[in-house]
Amino acid sequence: MEAWITELQKELPANQIMTALADRYSYSFDASFGEYLPEVVVQAKNKFQVVSVLKIANTYEIPVYPRGQGTCLSGGPLPVHGGIVLDLSQWPEAINVRADDLTVVVSPSTLTANINKAAEKHGLMYAPDPSSAHVATIGGNLAENSGGPRGLKYGVTKDFVLGLEVVTPEGEIIRTGGQTIKNVTGFDLTKLLVGSEGTLGVITEATLKLIPKPPRIQTVMAVFDDVRLAGRAISKTLTSGVLPSKMEFMDQACIRAVENFQPAGLPVNARAIIIIELDGHPEALKIERKLVEEIMRDLGAKDTVIPESEEEAVKIWQARKQVSPAIAKIKPTKVSEDATVPRSKIPDMMDRMQEIKEKYDVEVVVFGHAGDGNLHPNILCDKRNQEEMARVELAVEELFQAAIELGGTLSGEHGIGTMKAPFMESEVGEAGLSMMKRIKDSWDPNGIMNPGKIFAEKGQKLVLRSEP
Amino acid sequence: MEAWITELQKELPANQIMTALADRYSYSFDASFGEYLPEVVVQAKNKFQVVSVLKIANTYEIPVYPRGQGTCLSGGPLPVHGGIVLDLSQWPEAINVRADDLTVVVSPSTLTANINKAAEKHGLMYAPDPSSAHVATIGGNLAENSGGPRGLKYGVTKDFVLGLEVVTPEGEIIRTGGQTIKNVTGFDLTKLLVGSEGTLGVITEATLKLIPKPPRIQTVMAVFDDVRLAGRAISKTLTSGVLPSKMEFMDQACIRAVENFQPAGLPVNARAIIIIELDGHPEALKIERKLVEEIMRDLGAKDTVIPESEEEAVKIWQARKQVSPAIAKIKPTKVSEDATVPRSKIPDMMDRMQEIKEKYDVEVVVFGHAGDGNLHPNILCDKRNQEEMARVELAVEELFQAAIELGGTLSGEHGIGTMKAPFMESEVGEAGLSMMKRIKDSWDPNGIMNPGKIFAEKGQKLVLRSEP
């Protein structure tokens, strides 16, 4: 037995340390690509155990990969260099709503959807709503700065974090930010840590902001015969004075996939639909609903649909949530992207996706959070087909290039992880990447926290193919 | 002539470099305390000039203090160790609204109020509205992460910054973030730089987020006979489902000071007033206005006032803006604080302020952004009176302590600068401060960027008294 494993066994209960191959195998993958076996899995259940693990890992220079429920789409929790997977999902869930402060304090293992449920009991809302909210932990959301449909109006995870408790790579407990809405006391470590993908420390507690829950919501679905017209309608709506809470796009392939998977009555002959949610006072919603219907028709929608009941509205949104599982049925492998462009460039990005699809003869379906330029082109393929996957790799690379050329970014909400690390320099430049690396090196001199993520290794390339 | 000054003269036009005592004296102070003479003032007008200045300064290890209009309340631009004041206020103002993207690109010298004016032409809004918006530059707002009344609903400067162009302390130009609403590409350098008080680099361009301008606003003024009741009304309103755009507090001393200074018809016999602004659709505003009036009366307001015309509403908000100049007439010196507490602790903080006022026999008036717990207790005094100023220093220290004990923070929006640096460790802890310092040292190994700010020097204390 290695000395560092013996040390871990001295500090933590035996049933929280796993070394058997079957256990380690369960932690070797996430929802992205690649499989890597860790040497040990540690299930930490409180901050002192995290401190113990990090101190030992730092002393012996063993990599540590924090992990929640493993739903990451960019490889965040993958133990690419062996070492320790630090599973935080077994930590007891804790949700402490402070209604008078409009805040909530949560443990890292809390499922995101449960935070919103707890807030609703007080007439409040935790706005970030990643599609994985029912299965993913807030710890993972914080590490990746998760988005979601409501990001359009309310912002993403980062916009709702007031303070953190964090264990540094050297095993010190620090508190960042606090409990107040405004705070300019020194550098904003909170917003640096949120979205740092577990490369700077382990988040052990978070204080989140809540807002009053809007009194009513109103759904509108707009049906288009032309994808480009839909793209224009999206980019134009937001300059018309209305700020919807959600504005989601689905192309024909997605519509049909959902109708085959779990029929919801979507218009299968439409080339694209836009599903919009407005929220606010009932009186204001009546006015905004009419306005949105007018805009959609003016910009070429052949139809707009207003659900006749709340159940019908729920059904439409349920259909949107089913896109990801539904398209996964079409082909064995799904490469889910989230390159994001400025809103006015949505129609151009749609053209580029069409070109890329034809050029590399790959199957691309598109859906996503169109209102903030954050589309999800998904390439459907079969990872056992090496020749096809080689074309997919080229298509993905060109997709990234297109987004950057249009003034956009590699990732709107999924993170960089292992998958996009090789493309970082093309977006942020050599000097920009070096300033990020300086922070990393100053916080984690031994490089133990989630190595192999964000920062590419020399010569690293996008690889979606299995090892030959 | 020193070698580094000769180097500067080679790189920049002669009329942009000032070494005369009278010129240097104009740059020796800001809106806070203390006077420090720089050796040189450089007026940079483009990013390449900033690069030249920083490269020379870094080579010769000369301190550089970026400065906008010098309205800082915490000592941000003070040249505490001599060296170069880098004046960015003479840079040509540039405001490039990209309406379809809901963004605007600005130069650092742009007056903040002008950004909102430009946005309004497109039906859009730049929400952050520091009280100094008409005289302060966006560069200063970015450095200090300025707040303002509308922070309650919309957030502060940081929440509206999508991307930056920055010159690093070693003179490299980097771009952070971008033009998209969602972006999780690597560490969030944008939000690290905003609020870093010029200690990590010089911001030379910013891409800001715009939002649709709300169609209508509605002002409500609530009049109280009891300060503590007003405090409770503030902390309770926000859990009643309404999110006002502004919620401002003024105590009797502020009301009377304004009425003496520029009469606006405020109720001079009230112990406190709360001024609320709601925004949204006219129909929704009618409902919310009634709701807010009910809440205020239920919680003890003796009266609520609805302005009869837009002019009257403007007059009330104008009165709120006059508080700072009006109270400055009462005594020669005004120590403006912005310690901030969780919203539920506003009544407790008001009690603590009353105790401190009595204990140290100092004149304290209170106003501010009560809706987000960000009150501005102002101590009115005379800086020529050494004995009084000694009491003021103790009162300020105890005010900070009270805010931290109540779960709050040293600074909600004014920044740490020189004034609050000695108190940093009491809020963020030794380990937390050390993690901030690591970032500073890794970015600025020679310590040239705005030294003496945020991080206290050994033995540094709060000093409001002039040199004896």
Q: What confidence tier does A463 reach under pLDDT thresholds 50, 70, 90?
A: confident
Q: A278 in a domain, yes or no?
A: yes
CB contact under 8 A, B343 and A438: no
Is B77 found in the same domain as B9?
Answer: yes
Rounded to an integer, the average pLDDT of A92-101 is: 96
**Residue by residue, what is the 3-state secondary structure of chain B?**
CCHHHHHHHHHCCHHHEECCHHHHHHCCCCCCCCCCCCCEEEECCCHHHHHHHHHHHHHHCCCEEEECCCCCCCCCCCCCCCCEEEECCCCCCCEEEEHHHCEEEECCCCEHHHHHHHHHCCCEECCCCCCCCCCCEHHHHHHHCCCCCCHHHHCCHHHHEEEEEEECCCCCEEEEECCCCCCCCCCCHHHHHCCCCCCCCEEEEEEEECEECCCEEEEEEEEECCHHHHHHHHHHHCCCCCCCCEEEEEEHHHHHHHHHHCCCCCCCCCCEEEEEEEEECHHHHHHHHHHHHHHHHHCCCCEEECCCCHHHHHHHHHHHHCHHHHHHCCCCEEEECCCECCHHHHHHHHHHHHHHHHHHCCEEEEEEEHHHCEEEEEEEECCCCHHHHHHHHHHHHHHHHHHHHCCCECCCCCCCCCCCHHHHHHHHHHHHHHHHHHHHHHHCCCCCECCCCCCCCCCCCCCCCCCC
Q: A464 in a domain, yes or no?
A: no
Chain B residues in contact with A181 by the CB 8 A cut-off are: 151-152, 340, 343, 372-374
Rounded to an integer, the average pLDDT of B327-353 is: 92
CB contact under 8 A, A408 and B178: yes
Chain B residues in contact with A180 by the CB 8 A cut-off are: 340-342, 372-374, 407-409, 412
CATH code where residue B391 lies: 3.30.70.2740
Q: B181 in a domain, yes or no?
A: yes
CATH code where residue B303 lies: 3.30.70.3450
pLDDT at B467 over 60: no
Q: Which of A123, A196, A236 sits opposite B187 (nearest CB)?
A: A196
Q: B443 in a domain, yes or no?
A: no
CATH code where residue A24 lies: 3.30.43.10
End-to-end CA distance of chain A: 32
Chain B residues in contact with A102 by the CB 8 A cut-off are: 238-239, 343
Q: What confidence tier does B281 reach under pLDDT thresholds 50, 70, 90?
A: confident
Q: How far is A386 from chain B (nearest CA, A)?
A: 29
Is A182 found in the same domain as A147?
Answer: yes
Q: What confidence tier does A109 reach under pLDDT thresholds 50, 70, 90?
A: very high
Where does a domain end: B405, B422, B449? B405
Chain B residues in contact with A435 by the CB 8 A cut-off are: 168, 174, 189, 443
pLDDT at B466: 64
Where does a domain end: B389, B405, B421? B405
Is A316 found in the same domain as A400?
Answer: no
End-to-end CA distance of chain B: 32
Q: How far is A284 from chain B (nearest CA, A)?
A: 5
Domain that holds residue B391: 331-405
Chain A residues in contact with B122 by the CB 8 A cut-off are: 239
Q: How many CB pairs under 8 A join A and B?
A: 298
pLDDT at A466 over 70: no
pLDDT at A468: 45
Rounded to an integer, the average pLDDT of A31-50 is: 96
pLDDT at A465: 78
CB contact under 8 A, B189 and A442: no
CB contact under 8 A, A181 and B152: yes
Q: A82 in a domain, yes or no?
A: yes
Mind listing the pLDDT tens digit for each residue in A63-86? 999 999 999 999 999 999 999 999
Q: Tokens in use for B447?
A: 């310590």
Is B357 found in the same domain as B257?
Answer: no
Mind listing the pLDDT tens digit for each residue in B245-262? 999 999 999 999 999 999
Q: A99 in a domain, yes or no?
A: yes
Mind listing the pLDDT tens digit for each residue in A244-286? 999 999 999 999 999 999 999 999 999 999 999 999 988 889 9
**Cβ count near A322 (within 10 Å):** 17
Is A100 found in the same domain as A66?
Answer: no
Is B359 found in the same domain as B229?
Answer: no
Q: What confidence tier does A237 reach under pLDDT thresholds 50, 70, 90?
A: confident
Chain B residues in contact with A284 by the CB 8 A cut-off are: 280-281, 283-284
Is B290 found in the same domain as B359?
Answer: no
Chain A residues in contact with B286 by the CB 8 A cut-off are: 283
Q: B16 in a domain, yes or no?
A: yes
CATH code where residue A223 lies: 3.30.70.2190
Mind listing the pLDDT tens digit for each residue in B406-456? 999 999 999 999 989 999 999 999 999 999 999 999 999 999 999 999 999
Is B339 found in the same domain as B397?
Answer: yes
% of chain B surpassing 70 pLDDT: 99
Q: How far is A409 from chain B (nearest CA, A)?
A: 6
Is A134 found in the same domain as A73?
Answer: no
Q: A466 in a domain, yes or no?
A: no
CB contact under 8 A, A103 and B439: no
Rounded to an integer, the average pLDDT of A403-423 is: 94
Mind listing the pLDDT tens digit for each residue in B173-227? 999 999 998 999 999 999 999 999 999 999 999 999 999 999 899 999 999 999 9
CB contact under 8 A, B102 and A343: yes
Q: Which of A185, A236, A409 sits opposite B178 (nearest CB)?
A: A409
pLDDT at B468 over 50: no
Chain A residues in contact with B181 by the CB 8 A cut-off are: 151-152, 340, 343, 372-374
Q: What confidence tier does A467 reach under pLDDT thresholds 50, 70, 90?
A: low
Is B146 found in the same domain as B54?
Answer: yes
Where does a domain end: A405, A438, A463? A405
Mind listing the pLDDT tens digit for each residue in A424-435? 999 999 999 999
Q: How many structural domains are present in chain A? A: 4
Q: How far is A176 from chain B (nearest CA, A)?
A: 7
CB contact under 8 A, A102 and B411: no
Is B366 found in the same domain as B314?
Answer: no
In the predicted model, what is the mean pLDDT of chain B?
A: 95
Instruction: Indicate the range of A334-348, B11-25, B440-454 predicted with least confidence.
Output: A334-348
Is B117 found in the same domain as B35?
Answer: yes
CB contact under 8 A, B188 and A185: no
Q: Which of B102, B147, B184 sits opposite A145 (nearest CB)?
A: B184
Rounded to an integer, the average pLDDT of A221-229 is: 94
CB contact under 8 A, B431 and A174: yes
pLDDT at A407: 95
pLDDT at A461: 87
Chain A residues in contact with B408 by the CB 8 A cut-off are: 178-180
CATH code where residue A194 lies: 3.30.465.10
In the predicted model, what is the mean pLDDT of chain A?
A: 95
